[in-house]
Structure 1
Amino acid sequence: MKIGVPKEIKNNESRVGMTPAGVYELIKNNHTVYVQKDAGFGSGFFDEDYKEVGAIVLDTIEDVYDAAEMIVKVKEPIAEEYPLIKSHHVVFTYFHFASSEPLTKAMLKSKAVCIAYETVEDEDGSLPLLTPMSEVAGRMAIQQGAKYLEKPIKGRGVLLGGVPGVPPGKVLVLGAGVVGIQAAKMAAGLGAHVTIMDINMKQLRYVNDVMPSHVVTEFSSEYNIRKRIKDHDLIIGGVLLKGAKAPKLISKDMLKEMRPGTVLVDVAVDQGGCIETSKPTTHENPTYIIDDVVHYCVANMPGAVPYTSTLALTNVTLPYVLRLANQGWEVACAKDASLRKGLNIVKGKIVYEEIAEAFNWTVDAM
């Protein structure tokens, strides 16, 4: 199969869809890989690295799309890429369709096969291709939140870990999934007092068992959230509904109950956000302020640490890329139930129910 790895063109997105090591495995399996010039540069991988393992480096993104049958990316295509995607393409990337009607309509119009990393699902309900980026984003949420709590950037002026004689900062984590657990782990490591909320008691019991004593669990309800936001310094939104829009757990009126300089980090923003006042931002302009509350809503947080993120992503995507390349998408998805759940749009039809529900459309049977 002919596989294309284009350069990401989303604002400040420095990750790349495949490392040279991943490309080597594909070429070893008799596939042809086209990599756009400088596609890996932001992640610390150079054109020579790709050429050494047998990739063909092409000058433009148009060249890559024209040459390839399957496109392996990181982020969802943006408007400039829509015309490049044709009916013969299989596009394997993060899509997050439920949060973008224009993207969904564009991919339906293209009649391409769209397989979303974020909905590939194992038998136990875990999301193997979302997990590593959720781990990165959860840890980064605390790193970024701690920075934006500083007074020069309009935060409360709180050091999360405190110092002797001064109590630590308070962190509220909404969601005890991968993002939430990683965020709680990082915040606890800094010495902050952490409250983690979820509606899944099994997850809360797990958190209670594995986290230190200064991480406390609480059942998530509007009443409990309203109570906690009044005295917590950093609030992390880490709620995920597979393939669907995130629920709004913090409404605009709740901002007035927070102290000035409170920081909100909405990791769920690429799924629509779990905070009503969230809107996607970029690494170039990561924050904005509403009612004296700092919002950090970067939709591609792991893109700020592209070397780590690209390695982590290729580690988990490569086996699926190989299956798709070796067997073709139809056979691979028929044989692999996990990969089949990654099918979102096929030849102009929505085949993933949560996407149709997000826009009140009907799902098409395969």
Structure 2
Amino acid sequence: MRALLSRAPGGPETLELAELPDPVPAKGQLLVWVKACAINYPDVLIIEDKYQFRPERPFAPGGEIAGIVEAVGENVEGWSEGDRVIAMIGHGGLAEKVVVDARMALPLPPERSFEEGSALILTYATSIHALLDRGCLEAGQTLLVLGAAGGVGLAAVELGKAYGARVVGAVSSEEKAEAARNAGADDVLVYPRGPFDKDQSKALAQAFKDAVGPNGADVIYDPVGGDYAEPALRSIAWEGRYLVVGFPAGIPKLPLNLTLLKSCDVCGVFWGAFAARSPEANAAHIRTLFRLWDEGRIAPRVSRTWPLEQGGEAIAHMAARKAVGKLVVTMD
């Protein structure tokens, strides 16, 4: 089988296409013929040794796949050869075949494409956990979503609307603004590219305040970080919840006096750890996502695909913060 491997820490240009023996499923595992692998920001970090987990090299990046079950290991029930499957695997997805813990596999509905299936779980599961468990979002509240045209951003916009919030999307271009509107955002703010000096930061804070309204944002969903964080926090409502989701623009330093003045919470969101620590609660969220998907209230937007041999370009596109919706590498 072919795989796109990281042999040493570095950027997407360091990935190498290689031929490897087909893996063999052990007890409790499925061998999956990968048809599509979604690209997420952790793929940018993991090949540079900047992610929370550092796999032993060589390894293939890609933690979110969809494909077809090719073989079933011992002690696995409920799966057969030929079944369509989606799975979160951490890494290894940029390969034509991969073994998957059967407990982490989910059936892909027959009416859905492999590209859609590979693009569902990480962004929507992160967002539903963030909004409901950490943000305690309620109908009628105002939700501000930074990076609202990225994978997790669009998921947060759709889920915010599904749960009855007024959603304000914040993005960096008119193209991304249109994507946020199409996902259901009630209002959209186009912000400039950082870094910002003191006056620019103050102006951005005022723009956020104007966009969310005089009462502020009850929940702020921030998968961007960097110089956008403090201006966004300044627009939060009394007893609001600021959700820390990611840092592609850099890790910010927040002035904690703002949390005192607004009596607000700054909440970390680590979906992977939540799923491991609270599997039943995570499974309930996954069931909800499949229901909302079936009802047409959420829908992964795959904006661009690459073949396996160009998978590094997909990761570079993500690293450059050019992604609108989801980026997917296909194996055919």
Measured against the shorter chain, the TM-score band is 0.3 to 0.5
Larger CA Rg, structure 1 vs 2? 1
Q: Between Structure 1 and Structure 2, which shows a larger proportion of strand residues?
A: 2
More helix by share: 1
